[in-house]
A and B are shown apart, each in its own frame.
Chain A
């Protein structure tokens, strides 16, 4: 009799354990179906899209399901509504000083040195001879001209600040402003705003390399669609 009870108990525990294990598996399956379905909708078109994998801590630029570029996150922090996942579109990118295109008007005074087939090298005569092509300062809009700190607004109300780890050029005042914003302003807005139906979703992503942040600014254009997993 004892043996039967023991076997029954073991069977019951096993059954319960398998049920508990099946739960997360089924949830993972549901999540996989949902993310694949969202991605297929985007990948059908020839447009680029991004996938922000929160748990995998990375952002990917993709086309046709193919990963073009991956940016691993160094750090990430968040305030506000946690229901920010799903399909989104970039509404606006904002930065303190947006990069500007160089305008050449041949014949006018400011265009005294119009860009030839190979664009003019700025201050080429006065500067010491650069060691490599990477040292030239060209009349061009390049990755190095992109901001290292900027923000994205998405159509679901999510506001994302993107920055490189060592990119804050605003000094102590900038650090204070950031601290005030993150530790005082956002918690207060989160508390009182949600009561007024103006709940916030604020995300801050930090990247190790300056170039990572800059290339995200370069590759993410207004209207780009994506998925937040």
Chain B
């Protein structure tokens, strides 16, 4: 009976000890966290340096605004499958598009090549503008369909698939039209950006070669 009481007392003491340590840790942590976010990182500048700092800030702001694209440019959100045609800070047009599916295609047999169907992300520019584009089918298009890769170029050309216009932005990637308008808004492409006919026409007309494209 006495041993049992001793054990209960010891357990209670241990528990109380644990609670006090946790309580203390919690209290200390709260005090520490109260100093966050630290606003005192940047010490106030001396009175004599105010003019110099203000000038420096103005210069930095000017440099920053100098980095912004001039004229119309395109911004593409690959997660939401949205394309924004912008000019300055203004959204001129918003379009529902289809971006890369993220699927990996592996070539069967000996060569073992593979392709990742992602829309590339980063800063690009319009490299070419094509009316009534043909699709020159790359190797993966045949592999994906289980067909033999043709030797002649003429067997690779397919008309009508890319819509009425295409804007090339390098490495074989294009912003182009689609036959699969029902899938706009979903990630279904092999890396290109598919746009509906009306939006594509407006974008094609508004954007010159050299215009910036930001894909994120």
- Residue positions of A touching B, CB distance < 8 A: 22-24, 26-27, 29-34, 36-37, 39-40, 43-44, 46-48, 54-55, 61, 63-66, 68-69, 78-86, 101-108, 114-119, 133-134, 136, 138-143, 146, 183-184, 186-188, 190-192, 214-215, 218-219, 221
Contacts and interface: CB of A to CB of B under 8 A. Distances in A.
Contact of A68 (B41, B68, B75): B75
Nearest to B96: A133
B156 to A, nearest CB: 14
Nearest to A43: B67
A138 B188 contact: yes
B106 interface: yes
Nearest to A143: B79
B80 interface: yes
A114 B145 contact: yes
Contacts of A23: 44
18 contacts: A26-B47, A29-B57, A32-B57, A34-B41, A36-B60, A46-B123, A55-B37, A80-B32, A85-B41, A104-B103, A105-B108, A106-B108, A106-B146, A108-B108, A133-B184, A134-B186, A142-B102, A191-B24
A66 B213 CA distance: 13
A44 B68 CA distance: 10
Interface stretch (B48-56, B168-176, B203-211): B48-56
B68 A104 contact: no
A2 to B, nearest CB: 33
A134 B188 contact: no
A106 B80 CA distance: 29
Interface in B54-71: 54, 56-57, 60-61, 63-65, 67-69
Interface in B1-55: 21-22, 24-26, 28-29, 32-33, 35-47, 50, 53-54
Nearest to A45: B123
Interface of B: 21-22, 24-26, 28-29, 32-33, 35-47, 50, 53-54, 56-57, 60-61, 63-65, 67-69, 75, 77-80, 101-108, 116, 121-123, 141, 143-146, 161, 180, 182-188, 214, 216
Given A46-B123, A69-B77, A82-B38, A106 B144 contact: yes
A97 B187 CA distance: 21
A102 B104 contact: yes
Contact of B37 (A54, A117, A136, A192): A54
A68 B144 CA distance: 34
B34 to A, nearest CB: 8
Contact of B29 (A46, A69, A138, A187): A187
Contact of A186 (B29, B40, B75, B143): B29
Given A22-B47, A218-B79, A82 B33 contact: yes
Contacts of A80: 29, 32-33
B46 to A, nearest CB: 8
Given A104-B103, A116-B145, A219-B79, A65 B29 contact: no
A106 B186 contact: no
Contact of A104 (B105, B123, B183): B105
Contact of A118 (B28, B33, B64, B188): B188
A55 B41 CA distance: 14
Contacts of A69: 77, 216
B177 to A, nearest CB: 13
Given A82-B32, A82-B38, A65 B104 contact: no
B167 to A, nearest CB: 19
Given A36-B64, A65-B67, A103 B185 contact: no
A82 B104 contact: no
Given A102-B103, A133-B185, A184-B22, A190 B37 contact: no
